[in-house]
Amino acid sequence: MKKKMWSVLALLVFVAWASAAAAEEVVIGYSGPLSGPAAEYAQDNVNGIDLAIREINDAGGILLKGKKYTFRLHKLDDRAGMAEAVANARKFLKQDKTPVIFNSSATTIGALLKINEIPGSEFLVVGYSSVHTFHTPGSKLLINPTPDYLSYMEMAADVAWKQGYRNGAMVVTLGAYGDAWRKNFRLVWEKKGGRILADCPINYYTETDFTAQLISALVTRPDFLLIGGPSATTALAVEQARSMGFKGGFVLIDQARMDYIAGVLKNMTLMEGTIGIANIADLPLPATPDFARKYRELYKKEATWESALNYITMHIIAQAMTLAGTGSDPYAIRAAVGKALPVLGDRYPSELFRIDENGVISSPGVIQSVANGKFSPVYYTLSFPKTRAEFLKYKKMSKTKDPENCLWMPLP
């Protein structure tokens, strides 16, 4: 009997020890607008990180200096507020010693970059924002996997011009991100020879009635409206413009997602003539369909760019930690990111090629339009190569199934 008791105790001690060993983990933080009009957008970011963490953990985690680690995601709502984002970051550091914090709002990314290099409280920011000029100069602890919104702007303007649009009006969200879009799209469009007839901004994060702004824009009789903010409220702007009799096209800023808007409206005729960021499921890459299927099965919704790029970036971070041999030193993790690149479309839903000294990861820009109630093929555009020879190098590296639609559009 005593022998049995000692055997049971030994087993319990072993189980407790094994559990403690298996409990070694790295906590990844996410701060974003998980409530309010942008909640769907934030949740897509979270889902992408979550899916990658599930896959990494299911595969046994990562090995750091002979010890296995798994990942845990800790998410907090900041309601797109700078003070809230900073408070969340400090909470992550105090509770979890978090080495990496994801954030998905241009304004709050900027707030985090003011505190993430304080000695003893450093953390790596994964900033999901296409407005690179707000964040990149001098940032030593930043990763940004999003193409520059200026490349989207140039592509969208090019497609709009080819569709015969000449006169536009703008009903775009307020805030630093929307202001940058309005200012720079006007410059791009007027450089082509087009005209912007009205500029009627509104806060897409707090408003759902766009009547006054749309009336002011539509009275100028534009060929198209530049609109956008979070996808949910952008869908309302499309619906309200059509209800007012607008027959022209829409150019969407890059935060607004066409597939999400189509799902809300449930009527593709309302989106006729729309130009925007391509749907992730339509990308001409071998791994994209499987990612879209897994995402749909797990989260009961369609995959988005937010989910795809955050998913890929989380995988890159895990690889960088392995290469650096640490899950706690943000500087070492950041330094190893370049060694984890490129990641290509035979294994991932999009492609990330290289990282520059400011933490921007080069990736394709992708544009689609709606014609005759259907989405067009994807324009798969590389804007980061400086020369045609460099473009051809990355085009050959890419796993795109439609190389004829892989275009070079260097930024001015």
- Over the chain, what HEC string results? CHHHHHHHHHHHHHHHHHHHHHCCEEEEEEEECCCCCCHHHHHHHHHHHHHHHHHHHHCCCEEECCEEEEEEEEEEECCCCHHHHHHHHHHHHHHHCCCEEEECCHHHHHHHCCCCCCCCCCCEEEECCCCHHHCCCCCCCEEECCCCHHHHHHHHHHHHHHCCCCEEEEEEECCHHHHHHHHHHHHHHHHHCCEEEEECCECCCCCCCCHHHHHHHHCCCCCEEEEECCHHHHHHHHHHHHHCCCCCEEEECCCCCHHHHHHHHCCHHHHCCEEEECCHHHCCCCCHHHHHHHHHHHHCCCCCHHHHHHHHHHHHHHHHHHHHCCCCCHHHHHHHHHHHCCECCCCCCCCECCECCCCEECCCEEEEEEECCEECCCEEEECCCCCHHHHHHHHHHCCCCCHHHEEECCCC
- Using one digit for the tens of pLDDT, what is the confidence trace for 136-179? 667 899 999 998 888 889 999 999 999 999 999 999 999 888 99
Mean pLDDT of the chain: 91
**Residue 8, pLDDT above cutoff 60:** no
Please tell me the class of the 164-272 domain: alpha beta
pLDDT at 13 over 60: no
Question: What is the mean pLDDT of the segment spanning 339-366?
Answer: 95
Q: Ramachandran region of residue 171, left (φ > 0), alpha (ψ -120 to 50) or beta?
A: beta
The residue ranges of every structural domain in the chain are 8-148+287-340, 164-272
The pLDDT tens digits of the residues spanning 29-75 come to 999 999 987 898 899 999 999 999 999 999 999 999 999 999 999 99
Position 192 scores a pLDDT of 95
Residue range 375-381: mean pLDDT, rounded: 91
Check for a shared fold between 8-148+287-340 and 164-272.
Answer: yes
CATH superfamily, with its number, for domain 8-148+287-340: Response regulator (3.40.50.2300)
Residue 138's pLDDT is: 75
Q: Is the peptide bond before 230 cis (omega within 30 degrees of 0)?
A: no
Assign 3 a pLDDT band (cuts: 50, 70, 90): low
The model's confidence at residue 21, banded by pLDDT at 50, 70 and 90, is very low
Calculate mean pLDDT across residues 110-118.
Answer: 94
322-337: pLDDT as tens digits: 999 999 999 999 999 9
